[in-house]
Amino acid sequence: MARPLVNVPAKVKRGQVFEIKTLIAHIMETGFRYTTTGQRIPRDIITFFSCTYNGEEIFSADFYPAVSANPFLTFYTTATETGTLEFKWIGDNGFSETANATVTVE
Amino acid sequence: MSRHRLREFACALAVVVAAASAGATDIPLDQRRSGTADLGRDTKAMQNDDTSNPATLWVLDGEALWNQKAGAAHRACSDCHGDAAASMKGVAARYPAFSAVQKTPIDLEQRINLCRGEQQKATPFAFESRELLALTAFVGRQSRGLPIAPPSDENLKAAVEQGRKLFTQRMGQIDMSCAQCHDDNWGKHLASSPVPQGHPTGYPIYRLEWQNLGSLQRRLRNCMIGMRAEPFAYGAPEAVALEAYLMWRARGMTVETPGVRP
Domain limits, chain A: 4-30+42-105
Residue B94 exposure: Cα atoms within 13 Å on the Cβ side: 11
CATH of the domain at B139: 1.10.760.10
Rounded CA separation B48/B36 (Å): 10
Residue B203 belongs to some domain of the structure:
yes
User: What domain count does chain B have?
Assistant: 1
Residue B101 belongs to some domain of the structure:
yes
Of A5, A24, A69, the CB nearest to B211: A69
Taking only residues 18 to 37 of chain A, the set having a beta carbon closer than 8 angstroms to any beta carbon of chain B reads 21, 23-25, 28
Chain A residues with CB-CB distance to B212 below 8 A: 69
- For the stretch A69-99, pLDDT in tens is 999 999 999 999 999 999 999 999 999 999 9
Q: pLDDT at position B25, please?
A: 83
- CATH number for the A4-30+42-105 domain, one of 3.30.1330.10, 2.60.40.1190, 2.60.40.10, 1.10.600.10? 2.60.40.10
Residue B245 belongs to some domain of the structure:
yes
Convert A28-58 to b/e letters by CB count within 10 Å (16 or more is b).
Answer: beeeeeeeeeeeeeebbbbbebebbbeeeeb
Residue A7 near chain B (CB below 8 Å): yes
Closest CA to B14 of B22, B2, B4: B22
Chain A: nearest CA to B64, how far in angstroms?
10
Of B46, B57, B130, the CB nearest to A3: B57
Categorize the per-residue pLDDT at A50 as very low, low, confident or very high, splitting at 50, 70 and 90. Answer: very high
Q: pLDDT at position B95, please?
A: 96
Q: Is B178 an annotated catalytic residue?
A: no
Chain B residues with CB-CB distance to A89 below 8 A: none
Q: Are B211 and A70 a contacting pair at CB < 8 A?
A: yes
N-terminal to C-terminal alpha carbon distance within chain B: 50
Q: pLDDT at position B15, please?
A: 45
Chain A residues with CB-CB distance to B213 below 8 A: none
Q: Are A72 and B46 a contacting pair at CB < 8 A?
A: yes
Chain A: nearest CA to B205, how far in angstroms?
14
Using a 10 angstrom Cβ sphere, with 0-12 exposed, 13-18 middle and 19 or more buried, the burial of residue B202 is buried
Q: pLDDT at position A3, please?
A: 79
Of B51, B130, B211, the CB nearest to A23: B51
Strands A56-62 and A11-12 turn out to be unpaired
Residue B230 belongs to some domain of the structure:
yes
Could you list the residue range(s) of the whole structural domain that residue B79 is in?
26-262
Of A7, A21, A23, the CB nearest to B57: A23
Contact A40/A31 with Cβ under 8 angstroms? yes
- For the stretch A9-47, pLDDT in tens is 999 999 999 999 999 999 999 999 999 999 999 999 999
Question: What is the overall mean pLDDT for chain A?
Answer: 95
Strand segments (E) across A3-106: 4-7, 11-12, 17-24, 46-53, 56-62, 72-78, 83-91, 96-105
Rounded CA separation B243/B240 (Å): 5
Across residues A57-69, what is the average pLDDT? Answer: 96
Chain B: nearest CA to A103, how far in angstroms?
17
Residues in chain B where the model's pLDDT stays below 70? 1-24
Chain B residues with CB-CB distance to A68 below 8 A: 208, 211
Is the peptide bond preceding residue B258 cis, with omega within 30 degrees of 0?
Answer: yes
User: Which of these is catalytic: B80, B178, B181, B223?
Assistant: B223
Best mutation site among A23, A26, A75, A89 for testing chain B: the one with the most B CBs within 10 Å? A23
